[in-house]
């Protein structure tokens, strides 16, 4: 099978390419990535020599380029490429609309024109909005959309476009809405790698507000196996929610676990200004479990231990991106004030 992966130099895309080539060594992967600030070529060094892997530098919004790639006989598209950071969408929403909405539209058009067998769209639980503090509610495939940030609004828009191409043009789509991913190769702008790399570089962990907002943490390898299950056994036109084993982990509890594993104390926490429209998330994965037999393998503690070990042993991987990320946060804090 010939697969087009978009955004394969990013966190989840790079993990997925590695995972897929290990599980399906005869498949061919073309990775289309614009190489934004979020891309890292070092994430692919062990894959680059694989003859079934090739890389194209370019924008998913470039219709001519996408057409040229599709003409090579792509059967499946797994669409990861996006502007993915909520804080950056507060700074400048325009790129989020351009890539996440318009870029997805260009891909859908090409997929319909060339009659692909599957268009799998990677989306997020953030499209569902926020869960109230103290509530045990979990998002599911039936939860109405209620996005809070320009990022989640752009992802919600792209989900609607993907579904419309199924209903209107019969494009064979599937969508997954997953919770917060973590694991190796994640950009150090995001909470878990930022916290780990702050400690590794002698800085404190920055906690937004009082750290009471909560998340549902999904190890990236578990996410990859969920996408695999959907590609192999998922029903066309369907959406699948994907989440981790533990629900309702507050940011402060997450930080305390990281501090403990890394032999640090609460003196290494700095409370900083809160994020506007700060959401809470928890996701039910009942449907994908019952219908496709998927379940996550990692519990949060063992996943964090593995992730901390990876960042400790791969400090060269994040040096440049960490510098850029912290410069971004200095700029964002000025905007917040």
Q: Which positions are annotated as active-site residues? A: 125-126, 151
Which residue, 74 or 104, has its beta carbon nearer to ligand TDX?
104
148, 151, 90: which is closest to 123 by C-alpha?
Answer: 151
207 lies in the site for ligand TDX, by CB under 6 A: yes
Residue, CB closest to ligand NAD: 10
Q: Kindly state the DSSP code that residue 116 receives in the 8-state scheme.
A: -
Give dist(CA 227, CA 173) in Å, integer: 13
Give the number of other CB atoms < 10 A from CB of residue 15.
23
> Do the Cβ atoms of 197 and 313 come closer than 8 Å?
no
Give min distance, CB of 316 to ligand NAD, in A.
18
207 binds, among ligand NAD, ligand TDX, none (CB under 5 to 8 A by kind): ligand TDX
Q: Which is nearer to ligand TDX, 44 or 258 (CB)?
A: 258
Question: What's the rounded Cα separation, in Å, for the pair 318 and 186?
Answer: 9
Shortest distance, position 193 Cβ to ligand NAD, whole Å = 10
- Least separation in angstroms between residue 217's CB and ligand NAD is 9
Q: Token pair for residue 97?
A: 């609309």
Give φ, ψ of 11 to 5 degrees: -60, -65
State which residue, 98 or 264, has the beta carbon closest to ligand NAD.
98
Site for ligand TDX in 256-275 (CB under 6 A): 275
Distance between CA atoms of residues 328 and 337, nearest Å? 15
208 binds, among ligand NAD, ligand TDX, none (CB under 5 to 8 A by kind): ligand TDX
Shortest distance in whole angstroms from residue 6 CB to ligand NAD = 6
Binding of residue 251 to ligand TDX (CB under 6 A): yes
Helices (H), 130-277: 150-169, 191-200, 220-233, 251-261
């Amino acid at each position: 099978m010939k697969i087009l992966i978009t955004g394969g130099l990013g966190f989840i895309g790079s993990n997925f390419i590695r995972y897929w080539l290990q599980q399906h060594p005869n498949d061919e992967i073309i990775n289309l990535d614009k190489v934004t600030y979020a891309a890292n070529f070092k994430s692919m060094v062990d894959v680059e020599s694989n003859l079934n892997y090739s890389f194209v530098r370019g924008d998913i919004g470039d219709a001519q380029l996408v057409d040229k790639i599709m003409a090579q006989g792509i059967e499946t598209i797994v669409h990861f490429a996006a502007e993915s950071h909520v804080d950056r969408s507060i700074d400048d929403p325009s790129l989020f609309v351009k890539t996440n909405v318009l870029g997805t539209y260009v891909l859908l058009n090409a997929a319909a024109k060339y009659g692909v067998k599957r268009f799998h769209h990677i989306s997020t639980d953030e499209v569902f909005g926020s869960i109230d503090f103290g509530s045990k509610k979990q998002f599911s495939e039936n939860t109405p959309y209620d996005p809070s940030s320009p990022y989640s609004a752009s992802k919600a828009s792209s989900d609607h476009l993907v579904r419309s191409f199924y209903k209107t043009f019969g494009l064979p789509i599937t969508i997954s809405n997953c919770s917060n991913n973590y694991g190796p190769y994640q950009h150090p702008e995001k909470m878990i790698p930022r916290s780990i790399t702050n400690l590794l570089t002698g800085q404190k962990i920055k906690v937004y507000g009082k750290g009471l907002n909560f998340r549902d943490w999904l190890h990236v390898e578990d996410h990859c196996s969920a996408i695999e299950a959907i590609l192999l056994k998922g029903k066309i036109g369907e959406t699948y929610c994907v989440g981790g084993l533990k629900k309702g982990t507050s940011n402060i509890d997450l930080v305390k676990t990281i501090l403990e594993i890394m032999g640090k104390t609460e003196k290494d926490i700095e409370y900083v200004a809160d994020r506007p429209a700060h959401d809470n998330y928890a996701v039910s994965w009942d449907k994908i479990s019952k219908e496709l037999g998927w379940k996550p393998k990692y519990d949060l503690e063992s996943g964090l231990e593995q992730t901390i070990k990876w960042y400790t042993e791969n400090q060269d991987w994040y040096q440049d991106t960490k510098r850029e990320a912290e410069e971004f946060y200095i700029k964002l804090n000025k905007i917040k004030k």
